[in-house]
A and B are shown apart, each in its own frame.
Chain A
Amino acid sequence: MAKLKLALYWAASCGGCEIAQLLIGDRILKLAEAADIVFWPVAIDAKYKDVEAMEDNSIDVCLFNGAIRNSEQEHMARMLRAKSKVMIAYGACACRGGIPGLGNLHNRQQIFDTVYRDTASTEKNGNIFPQPSYKAPEGELEIPVFYDTVSTLNQVVDVEYYIPGCPPEEKTTWLALEALIQGKLPPRGTVISHNVKAVCDDCSRKRDIKKIKKIHRTYEFIPEPEICLLEQGLLCVGVATRGGCGALCPQVSMPCTGCYGPVEGVIDQGAHFLSAVASVIDSKDEEEIRTILSDVRDPVGTCYRYSLPDSLVRRASIK
């Protein structure tokens, strides 16, 4: 069998996904036996023009991580889509927008104002903002256009598979790579993860039907080691999050933040979680309910930590 051709790319992401890809350890040698990596900006020296020169559909699989936040990323997503037979959204940002997706609470101008003008460490010598093109004495310079709205990969191009996680756990990555090497990929559109419905199903903490009177933030509260975090008043998104990670965070007393995306069949992870939180509040008094819920300081950041661009509303409207 001819060797597979593999491309890896990063868009609006932090670089954690490449580290997660390397976490498979010496199994990378198995991958190297089965596949040639033709493009991977973080590790090999292939340029954009090399990809451009490739024929359409000449790459077998592209692992694309990161959301789409500017014109360069959109361009690369479209180009790699054309060159690849199979496009895989790797990691929470490519799948659902991820942490960069929270930028959808603001628009370009607000983000620029904060970054290039309002921060205390910025010199106050006029409003200097990045421009997409600039005429320098040596010629015209161009940088990518920064978008108002962050998009997920599948909002830009067709995507065959999704590998969830921020970053994807090593076993999730290997599950996908193994299927790829053996040529046993699941049906198109599958989110590749171990078949666990929710993070709770992997979590060893005991669930009761206890209800809560107070919502805590992680820094102000040390939870009991064996009881469900949500029932202790920590906003653990595990109930609304696809399993497969092994429930690593809740087992060490950190509430799940939802990086594996919504459970199968749910479109909007945040709304699903919101429902769950509301149903554990122990009160029948309007005023008290309001007081308890006032401790949810950042509802969007809590419910949609990794999925705002993929949510029903997709972004905030700005006055």
Chain B
Amino acid sequence: MSFEPKIVAFLCNWCSYAGADLAGVSRYKCAPNVMSIRLMCSGGLEPSFVLKAFKEGADGVLVCGCNLGDCHYTDGNYKTLMRMTLLKKLTEQLGIEEPRVRLQWVCASCAEDFTNAVNRITEDVRALGPYKKEKVEVESGKNT
């Protein structure tokens, strides 16, 4: 069976989720590989959520927020930008290839941007293959 990437998308309530919704309503053709999780603000995205997604078997993570300057909470997405910039450095050092973690601004009327972001990360991750974890010799499954 061919590899179908599992992508987790974190979408902010005010812009990106609405944009994703619009993409559906407008019948844009979009890869079905994304599981979306709605947050009130992308600034509420803890970096550990992204790492947890990988731990739980995601092959890629897409984070969407409002365009810079448009945040419903004034500057939440600037926090997202700073965190994601640093987080991407960290994930790359952990051997998670750069295209697997993606930050994309999607406004409420940007259905096309959302569709493109989803299709792009899906294709990038498909080309990379599954996110592979290394062998752990001692495995008791007790780790939290």
Contact = CB atoms under 8 A, between A and B. Distances in A.
B46 interface: yes
A277 B85 CA distance: 11
Contacts of A271: 46-48, 51, 87
Interface stretch (A135-143, A180-188, A279-287): A279-287
Interface in A261-299: 267-268, 270-272, 274-275, 277-279, 281, 283-284, 286, 289-290, 293, 296, 298-299
B134 A315 contact: yes
B82 A312 contact: no
Nearest to B53: A312
Contact of A313 (B54, B82, B89, B140): B54
A196 interface: no
B71 to A, nearest CB: 11
Contacts of A319: 95
A312 B48 contact: yes
B55 interface: yes
Interface string A295-312: 010111001000000111
A317 B94 contact: yes
Contacts of B139: 155
Secondary structure of the A contact surface, majority rule: mixed
Interface residues of A, number: 46
Interface in A66-110: 68, 74, 105, 107
B90 A151 contact: no
A313 B55 contact: yes
B31 interface: no
Nearest to B47: A271
Contacts of B83: 274-275, 278-279
A299 B89 contact: yes
A155 B140 contact: yes
Q: Which one of A149, A158, A274 has the greatest number of beta carbons of chain B within 10 Å? A: A274
Interface of B: 46-48, 51-52, 54-55, 68, 75, 78-79, 81-83, 85-87, 89-90, 93-96, 131-140, 142-144
